């Protein structure tokens, strides 16, 4: 078994016949200091894995979750994936990307907090703008910008894209299409806010329930107001009614609903 650490990648080569996490952990500690957004575990050169060896992935997830970092396993051969899926407690928690590029894109999207202002100072317009629609993100930010304009650069517009992850997938699972959409929506919303002379603070959050996550973000960021754009629809699968019920009953601050054309 060969373990190589380089950049943000720990590469495993050979047969994973026992739990190698204690050996990998030393390399992971160093890499996580250099790459706090997370690291990649490249399994493309693995030839086989036993049930005991699969525990490597379980302990890796325990470690990463404990220290609020992320690990994405990449490029596992199909025979290795089958062995990993057969191990209870590992198969339901293991985020796997198809390639290093896909895994790195997933990690790069977790950029929220990098531009977060120090402390939790409340200002007159500390605004949370949940981004739940892929089309026209400027619509969601327009009213928030108008409300925050009097504060100018002192106002913080927290642009929060909420990725609802299906319950049959690990919360950290790479979602290439959804993540690409999130990146595009955030970029467009940030550009719009800056064009209004205000300060955007981007966030991407993964959650099982978008409404619950918006409430959590409002509490964590200490916002004064949530501005949510919504378009009425007759679609029975539309999550917005569920999200609105949660916000209107549990939000810790004022909630403004901005009705927009469907």
Determine the structural domain holding residue 51 and report its residue range.
2-109
> 22 and 48 share a domain?
yes
Is 237 part of a structural domain of the chain? Answer: yes
> With bands split at pLDDT 50, 70 and 90, how would you rate the model's confidence at 159?
very high
pTM for the model stands at 0.59
Select from 44, 76, 109 the last residue of a domain. Answer: 109
Q: pLDDT digits over 196-246, tens only?
A: 888 889 998 889 999 999 999 999 888 888 988 887 777 777 788 889 889
- Tracing tokens 């916000």 back to the chain, one arrives at 247
Select from 109, 141, 164 the last residue of a domain. Answer: 109
Is 119 part of a structural domain of the chain? Answer: no
Nearest to 260 by CA among 235, 239, 236, 233: 233
Write down the pLDDT at residue 67.
64
Q: pLDDT digits over 22-69, tens only?
A: 888 777 777 777 777 778 889 899 998 888 888 887 787 777 667 666
Contact 127, 156 (CB under 8 A): yes
Write down the pLDDT at residue 110.
61
- Cα–Cα dist 31/118, whole Å: 25
Write down the pLDDT at residue 120.
43
- Cα–Cα dist 61/67, whole Å: 10
Q: pLDDT digits over 73-102, tens only?
A: 888 888 888 877 777 766 666 678 888 888
CATH number at residue 90: 3.30.750.24
């Amino acid at each position: 078994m060969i373990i190589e650490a380089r950049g943000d990648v720990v590469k495993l080569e050979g047969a994973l016949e026992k739990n190698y996490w204690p050996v990998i952990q030393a390399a992971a500690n160093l890499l996580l200091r250099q790459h706090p957004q997370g690291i990649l575990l490249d399994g493309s050169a693995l030839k086989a894995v036993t049930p005991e060896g699969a525990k490597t992935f379980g302990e890796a997830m325990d470690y990463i979750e404990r220290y609020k970092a992320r690990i994405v396993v990449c490029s596992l051969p199909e025979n290795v994936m089958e062995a990993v899926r057969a191990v209870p407690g590992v198969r339901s928690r293991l985020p796997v990307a198809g390639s290093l590029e896909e895994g790195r894109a997933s990690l790069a999207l977790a950029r929220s907090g990098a531009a977060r202002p120090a402390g939790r100072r409340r200002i007159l317009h500390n605004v949370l703008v949940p981004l739940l629609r892929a089309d026209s993100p400027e619509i969601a930010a327009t009213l928030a910008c108008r409300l925050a304009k009097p504060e100018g650069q002192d106002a913080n517009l927290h642009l929060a894209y909420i990725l609802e992850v299906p319950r049959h997938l690990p919360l950290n699972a790479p979602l290439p299409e959804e993540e690409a959409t999130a990146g595009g929506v955030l970029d467009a919303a940030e550009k719009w806010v800056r064009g209004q002379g205000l300060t955007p603070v981007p966030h991407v959050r993964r959650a099982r329930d978008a409404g619950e996550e918006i409430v959590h973000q409002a509490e964590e960021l200490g916002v004064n107001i949530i501005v949510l754009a919504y378009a009425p629809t007759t679609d029975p699968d539309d999550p917005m009614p569920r999200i609105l019920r949660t916000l209107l009953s549990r939000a810790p601050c004022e909630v403004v609903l901005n009705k927009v054309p469907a």
